[in-house]
């Protein structure tokens, strides 16, 4: 599904665009703002026919001024990611699509009491939250704006078992959960904090947090490798913790979160926001604004915000584990093997 042919200079790609935050980002761009008319939107969804939330926000706003494509890409299938990336690269090379100014890795997957696996044989939380985004980012580097491109990674406080927001619910109670990354295989194959061994809500939340940890480890490692590449050194990787929101992300969680988040948070979050500059819970509209700020701002973040992490718009730091250079390197090397990426699939010089 696409809008009319565009001569706009740059694109923004958002994964998981049918979700609560993803559709809010699309809605913000399609609301008639100058930014929306300036950038061509590329919105990826698992199933185009079922992308009802995305279609609704695009149809209810001034979408005629915001050129866009809705692209089918199932993050649960690596071949679907490869095909979508190839198609985008081809269109950018043919100049029928503008280069990507911002690649927003927004899609997320959370489950609590059950544990699902992808057709590729990986834990669903690991592949959707991290591995498929790793493959997508590497494959789309040829299509990035080499002068001002940004890769925006969506983090979560659950990546850090020592974060007070994570410890308050007891999900990471006990010394055994203070380290999330022991090796790539246990996370990829789902044997770490598995539902078979830990059939409670905490088990799934921990797997989600581990997937987000891997994504933030990728943020640090990718930026390091981009800096070493003379052609890609100006591309910046920025991370954003969007906070807690009432969205469909929680539909597979425990009763309390599943019932409270979608129904009450949209009403509670604006009130809390009146009294707290950077609240724990936020509306999807506010978080979408924060994500777009990370993607485009140059006044507060600077022209080249390399390896910067923000909580909303407040400067923040990722966990000590996420910054461990040996763990980052191990995850990167293993991930290259898991997705079977080859030299011809990416333009990154130090891709192995």
Query: Which of 43, 130, 157, 212 is labelled catalytic?
Result: 212
Could you confirm whether 208 is annotated as catalytic? yes
Indicate the burial class of 129 (C-beta count within 10 angstroms; 0-12, 13-18, 19 or more).
buried
Cβ distance 41 to 4 under 8 Å?
no
d(CA 46, CA 300) in angstroms, rounded, equals: 34
> Tokens 């990546």 correspond to what residue?
159
Instruction: Annotate 247-292 with DSSP letters as a single string.
Output: SGGGGGS-HHHHHHHHHHHHHHHHHHHHH-SS-SB--HHHHHHHHH
Query: Which of 39, 43, 208, 309 is labelled catalytic?
Result: 208
What does the CA dihedral 257, 259, 263, 264 come to, rounded to 10 degrees?
-60
Could you confirm whether 95 is annotated as catalytic? no
Indicate the burial class of 227 (C-beta count within 10 angstroms; 0-12, 13-18, 19 or more).
middle
Sheet (strand 68-72) strand order: 68-72, 39-45, 10-14, 100-105, 150-154, 236-241, 308-311, 314-315
Go through 244-273 and write b for each residue having 16 or more CB atoms within 10 A of its CB, e for each that does not.
bbbbbbbebbbeebeebbbeebbeebeeee
Q: Catalytic amino acids? A: 208, 212
């Amino acid at each position: 599904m696409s809008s009319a042919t565009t001569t706009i200079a740059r694109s923004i790609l958002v994964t998981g665009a049918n979700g609560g935050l993803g559709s809010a980002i699309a809605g913000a761009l399609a609301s008639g703002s100058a930014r929306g008319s300036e950038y061509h939107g590329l919105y990826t969804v698992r199933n185009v026919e079922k992308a009802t939330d995305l279609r609704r926000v695009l149809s209810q706003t001034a979408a005629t001024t915001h050129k866009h494509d809705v692209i089918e890409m199932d993050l649960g299938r690596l071949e679907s990611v490869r095909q979508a990336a190839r198609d985008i690269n081809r269109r950018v090379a043919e100049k029928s699509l503008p280069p990507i100014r911002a690649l927003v890795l927004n899609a997320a997957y959370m489950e609590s009491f059950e544990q699902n696996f992808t057709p590729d044989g990986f834990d669903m939380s690991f592949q959707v939250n991290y591995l498929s985004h790793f493959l997508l980012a590497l494959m789309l580097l040829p299509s990035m704006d080499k002068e001002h491109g940004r890769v925006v990674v969506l983090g979560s406080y659950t990546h850090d078992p020592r974060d007070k927001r994570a410890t308050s619910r007891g999900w990471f109670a006990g010394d055994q959960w203070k380290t999330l990354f022991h090796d790539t295989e246990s996370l990829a194959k789902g044997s770490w904090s598995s539902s078979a061994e830990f059939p409670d809500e905490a088990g799934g939340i921990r797997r989600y947090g581990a997937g987000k940890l891997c994504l933030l480890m990728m943020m640090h490692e990718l930026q390091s490798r981009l800096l070493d590449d003379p052609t890609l050194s100006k591309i910046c990787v920025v991370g954003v913790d969007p906070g807690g929101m009432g969205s469909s992300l929680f539909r597979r969680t425990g009763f309390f979160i599943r019932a409270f988040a979608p129904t009450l948070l949209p009403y509670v979050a604006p009130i809390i926001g009146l009294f707290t500059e950077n609240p724990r819970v936020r509306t999807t509209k506010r978080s979408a604004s924060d994500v777009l700020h990370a993607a485009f701002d140059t006044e507060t973040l600077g022209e080249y915000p390399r390896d910067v992490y923000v909580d909303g718009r407040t400067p923040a730091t990722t966990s000590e584990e996420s910054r461990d250079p040996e763990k980052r390197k191990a995850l990167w090397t293993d991930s290259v093997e898991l997705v079977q990426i080859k030299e011809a699939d990416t333009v990154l010089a130090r891709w192995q």
